[in-house]
Every structure is written in C-alpha cells, then in structure tokens.
C-alpha cells in the first residue's frame, strides 16, 4: 500500500471539495444569507488538505488496491466534511442525520431525513442539490480531468468509481477521457437548465432541478418534489432528461464523433428503452382509471418510470397508492437500474443482459455438453472474467440488501418498508414503499439504522467491491 500517494490523493479530493463549496457560498452571499457555515467548512478543509497536497510523494504508482481504497475513503471523507454546512447552519443538528443526508446527496440516492425542506436556507438547499451533480459523474473522475499529473495508473481510480460491469477509456489518455465525460455532462446539464427556463421555472429552481436530474439524485427544494411546480412542460423536460442521463455516456461521445452506428448497435440501449416502454404500457393500463385523461396518465407514468429506472427518485404522484401490479413493476425497476457508464444506479441493464445470456449458455451446455457457446454483447465476446464478475456482483448485491433489511428491522417498522428502504438505498434510488411512500422520509429510523443505510448507499454507489476492499485487512498491508 502506497500510503503517501493515498494521503496525497485524499488531500486533493478534500481541496477540490473546498473549491466546489465556494459555489453555494456565493449563492448564500448573493441571497444575503448566512455564509459562515460554508466559510467554517472551507477553512477546515483547507487546513487538513493543504499539507497533504504540498507534500507530494516521489512514488506516484497507483495499483488496483490503492484505487479501491482511495475511492472508498474519498467518498466517506467527502460525506463527513460535506455534512458540516448542515450542522453549522442548524439545518440538521444530529451529526448522523447530516452524514446520511450528505451521503444520500453524493451517492445520488435522494433519500432524506428531512420532513420539510422549503424552510431551509437556499444556500444550504443549493449545496444539497449540488452534491448530486458532484457525485453523479464521480469526484475522482473530476479530479482526473483537472489534474495534469494523472498518469496511466489512474485507470484504477476510474474503474473503482465508474459504475458498470466493464470500464475503459474513450481515448488513449485517461485525462482526456475524463475531460470528455465531464464535457458531455456539463453540456447536458446546461441544455436542461435552458429548457426548464423556457418552461418558466425560476433560474434558481431550474439550476437545482437540473443538478438533481443530471446526477439522477432526486433532491428537490419543494416538499412535494416536482409535483409542487404544477408544470406539465417541466415534468416532460425532466422526464426526458432523466432518461438521457441514464444512458451510457460513451454513446453520447460516439454521436459527437459521428459514429452513429455504434449507438444503433448498442443492445443495452435497446433493452433500456424497451424496458421503459413495457413498464410505461403496463402501469398506464393498470392505473388508467386513476387519471383524468390519457395525456395526464401518460405524462405521469412516463415521468415515474423514468425517475425510478434511472434511480433519480423525483416524484409527481404517490405511487404507493397504485395497484399491486404497478407497485411490483416499480420495485423491479428499482433493482434493474439504468445503463452502465451513466449516472444511474441499480444492477445495470448491461449486467442483467450478461447474466441472462450466461444462463442461456449454461442451459445449452447442459443439453449439449460438448458444444462451445459464448456470450456476446453488441457482437463482441464477453470475457469469462466479466461473466464471473457479474455473477459475483449479483450474489454480493443480494447479500448486502438482505443484511441491510435485517439490521434495520430492529426498529420495528413494517417489512415492506424495510425491504424497499434497503433496495432504495443499495440501488441509490431514494423513495420507498410502505410507511414512507413516494413523498416520505427516513427520519423514523434510529441513529444506528440511519448509519447502516448510509453505508448501504455507499456500497451501492461504488458497486460493493471498493467498500469491501476498504474494510479488508489485506488491503492495508504494505505488500
């Protein structure tokens, strides 16, 4: 373990967090609100990070072990220090609740312990939504984009942070790949802000809503989420952009460079859009009698399906009141998730495709033991390593979800609520069913359960392995 390089990287991350916190500080300043919560936090971050960054190590090698540990430790530290503005401002007085809220922001989960948000200072609400935008693409990807010294070994950082069964570079240099990804991310965010302004949303509301959409997070500044705007045009815009941010960002790059055939070739994209179409159709038929018109029903159902499959968590309707079939589809969408390489959570469409195709291969092998069968995605053979990784991920995913549900059950809340709360946090979704519902919050849970759910969100955002490596004694050995 290269401890000095680990210290340096974590110092860079905290320094970046201090710089990013200048934006909500400026918002508070413009709106004549108390800026001291951000000032105190920035000073603390600078005091801790500056010595770490100045003392740059001679050995800058980053291997897989350092990559996993650095990413996991960075996300925990980001949440710990990111919670300080909530505590200093008095918005959230309980440190564990503040940690939960910040973890929920950075992991783009959108679960909250706040029963009401509209009375909070706008600077604090801006930071709350901004954490979604920061965490959506990944803060280490951002670091790779701005640090000129990010070498070839930085691929280990990106592999540990970027979601999906496979990771790679768009272009030969890691820094250029990071710049391209963030360029696409920023461009889509700006386009959505403009679109929401055209829908007559105030500038502040358009920005924070775009932040939450881009990161597929779901924090809203209204207690009734997006339903509070009573703006059908804005619902369509946010619904479409949620769907866009759930697509693999590599496909946007291919569109930019004119390789449209790769977009049409993508089996994952076709499956993703197919699942959305089927889910919208089933739920619309099942709930049609609850809407005043077909247009209202289509808009509401599409918005909710787009929100859940991309694990955004915005709501325009209390889907907890829907028929059992519709609620079952919602829970399935929670687990399926968006595309690999997007800002969405869940199991990922590509991983489910690989698992299903591997099952078909095993069935063929049982029928004809001597036959040679391979799993292909987009015409390319999927390596056995990826197949094993997908199977292992599913196993650990189920175990983490079950363990989370069992632990939080000690609070005596209903099984439906605990199950969907565990699924919601592990998949980074936000809303749950049962006692909480689409517009509810997680405040009924005890401090211990809140802490467990916080780490479940981190496990889900980092796709389990990095967090497991962090807590493994073998990861901290020098050799």
Pairwise CA distance, residues 67 & 70, whole Å: 5
**Integer angstrom CA distances of residue 327 from 43, 251, 324, 442:** 47, 31, 5, 19
What are the tokens at 234? 């804005």
DSSP 18-64: HHHTHHHHHHHHHTT---HHHHHHHHHHHHHHHHHHHS--S-----H
3 state SS of 57: coil
Q: What are the pLDDT digits (tens) for 82-103?
A: 999 999 999 999 999 999 999 9
Report how far residue 15's alpha carbon sits from residue 362's, in angstroms, rounded to the nearest whole number. Answer: 50
Contact 161, 347 (CB under 8 A): no
Of 214, 144, 133, residue with least CA distance to 180: 144
377: β partners: 380
Is the predicted pLDDT of residue 157 greater than 80, yes or no?
no
The pLDDT tens digits of the residues spanning 212-253 come to 999 999 899 998 999 999 999 999 999 999 999 999 888 998
Each residue's pLDDT tens digit, 276-319: 999 999 999 999 989 999 999 999 999 999 999 999 989 999 88
Sign of CA dihedral 421, 426, 429, 430: positive
Residues near 3 by Cβ (< 8 Å), separated by ≥ 6?
none
Alpha carbons 343 and 366: distance in angstroms, whole number = 38
Q: In whole angstroms, what is the distance from residue 293 CA to residue 290 CA?
A: 9
Name the strand (E) or helix (H) holding 381: strand 380-381
**CB-count burial class (<10 Å; 0-12, 13-18, 19+) for 200:** exposed
Q: What is the pLDDT of residue 68?
A: 76
Specify the residue for token string 């820094």: 175
HEC letters along 430-443: CCCCCCCCCCCCCC
Could you tell me which residue, 403 or 384, shows the higher pLDDT?
403
Q: Strands (DSSP E) along 269-350, which ranges?
A: none
Average pLDDT over residues 4-28: 91
Residue 145: predicted pLDDT: 56
The pTM (predicted TM-score) of the whole model is: 0.89
C-alpha distances (whole Å) from 251 to each of 137, 138, 254 are 15, 18, 5
Reduced to 3 states, what is the DSSP secondary structure of residue 354?
A: helix
pLDDT digits (tens, 9 = 90+) for 49-85: 999 888 777 766 666 667 778 888 888 999 999 999 9
User: Residues 6 or more apart from 240 whose CB is under 8 A from it?
Assistant: 306
- Which of the 8 DSSP states describes residue 151? -
Q: In DSSP terms, which residues pair with 381 in a beta bridge? A: 376
Q: CA dist 425 to 40, 322, 429, 437, Å?
A: 30, 22, 6, 14
Residue 380 DSSP class? E
Give the separation between CA 208 and CA 425, rounded to whole angstroms: 22
């Amino acid at each position: 373990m290269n401890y000095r390089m680990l210290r340096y990287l974590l110092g860079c991350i905290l320094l970046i967090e201090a710089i990013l916190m200048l934006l909500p500080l400026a918002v508070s300043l413009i709106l004549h609100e108390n800026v001291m919560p951000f000032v105190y936090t920035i000073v603390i971050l600078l005091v801790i990070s500056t010595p770490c960054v100045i003392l740059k190590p001679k050995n800058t090698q980053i291997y897989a072990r350092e990559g996993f540990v650095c990413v996991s430790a960075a996300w925990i530290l980001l949440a710990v220090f990111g919670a300080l503005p909530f505590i200093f401002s008095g918005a959230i007085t309980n440190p564990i609740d503040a940690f939960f809220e910040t973890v929920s922001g950075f992991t783009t989960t959108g679960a909250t312990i706040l029963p009401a948000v509209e009375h909070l200072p706008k600077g604090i609400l801006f930071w709350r939504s901004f954490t979604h935008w920061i965490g959506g693409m990944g803060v280490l990807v951002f670091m790779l984009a701005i640090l000129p010294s990010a070498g070839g070994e930085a691929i280990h950082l990106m592999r540990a942070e970027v979601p999906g069964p496979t990771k790679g570079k768009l272009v030969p240099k890691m820094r250029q790949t990071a710049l391209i990804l963030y360029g696409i991310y920023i461009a889509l965010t700006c386009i959505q802000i403009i679109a929401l302004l055209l829908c007559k949303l105030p500038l502040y509301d358009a920005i924070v809503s775009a932040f939450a959409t881009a990161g597929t997070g779901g924090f809203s500044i209204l207690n009734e989420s997006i339903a509070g705007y009573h703006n059908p045009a804005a619902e369509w815009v946010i619904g479409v952009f949620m769907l866009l941010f759930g697509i693999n960002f590599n496909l946007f790059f291919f569109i930019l460079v004119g390789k449209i055939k790769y977009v049409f070739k993508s089996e994952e994209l076709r499956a993703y859009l197919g699942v959305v179409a089927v889910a919208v159709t089933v739920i619309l038929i099942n709930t049609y009698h609850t809407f005043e018109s077909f247009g209202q029903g289509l808009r509401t159902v599409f918005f909710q399906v787009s929100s859940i499959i991309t694990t955004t968590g915005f709501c325009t309707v209390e889907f907890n009141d829907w028929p059992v079939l519709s609620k079952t589809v919602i829970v399935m969408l929670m687990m399926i998730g968006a595309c690999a390489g997007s800002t969405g959570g869940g199991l990922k469409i590509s991983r489910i495709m690989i698992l299903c195709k591997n099952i078909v291969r095993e069935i063929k092998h049982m029928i004809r033991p001597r036959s040679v069968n391979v799993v292909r995605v987009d015409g390319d053979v999927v390596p056995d390593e990826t197949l094993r990784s997908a199977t292992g991920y599913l196993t650990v995913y189920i175990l983490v979800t079950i363990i989370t549900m069992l632990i939080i059950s000690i609070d005596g809340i209903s099984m439906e609520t605990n199950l969907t709360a565990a699924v919601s946090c592990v998949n980074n979704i936000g809303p749950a069913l049962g006692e909480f519902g689409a517009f509810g919050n997680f405040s009924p849970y005890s401090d211990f359960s809140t802490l467990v759910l916080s780490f479940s969100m981190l496990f889900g955002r980092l796709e389990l392995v990095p967090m497991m490596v962090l807590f493994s004694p073998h990861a901290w050995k020098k050799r």
